[in-house]
Structure 1
Amino acid sequence: MDYQRAKKIVESPSEYEVSYNGVSVWIDQLHDDEKTATVHLRRSLEERSEVSIAELKEEYLVH
């Protein structure tokens, strides 16, 4: 994923699903370097990780 796409997803989080290493995550914050983001597992608000935006994958939801 690129920074601009991640930014759009952060602005409308309920419309998109994102995964990191095959696990569904929420993007909490995009960092100023435009290369990393803080994410947390959708099922756990407590564990946050800083990851490369390039490693995030957009999952397509069927409505």
Structure 2
Amino acid sequence: MAAALAEIQTASRENDQRVIATAFSPENIVPLRTLDGATATMTDVANFIGTLVLDLRAGEVRKG
């Protein structure tokens, strides 16, 4: 997980977010856009990151 986040950080200095996100292929993701750091499970974190990547790939910005 740390390596994937480091790769995103490095790439974010070089490319558009949609280009970066195409390098990742989240599967079996349950959409999750809120995360409670005090109670989140590893599954919650995986779903949250997967949702973020899918939203970035789609070029979507969601508020709220």
Provide the TM-score with structure 1 as the length reference: 0.29
Structure number with higher helix proportion? 2
Compute the TM-score of the two structures, normalised by the length of structure 2: 0.29
The structure that is strand-richer by fraction is 1
- Is the radius of gyration larger for structure 1 or structure 2? 2
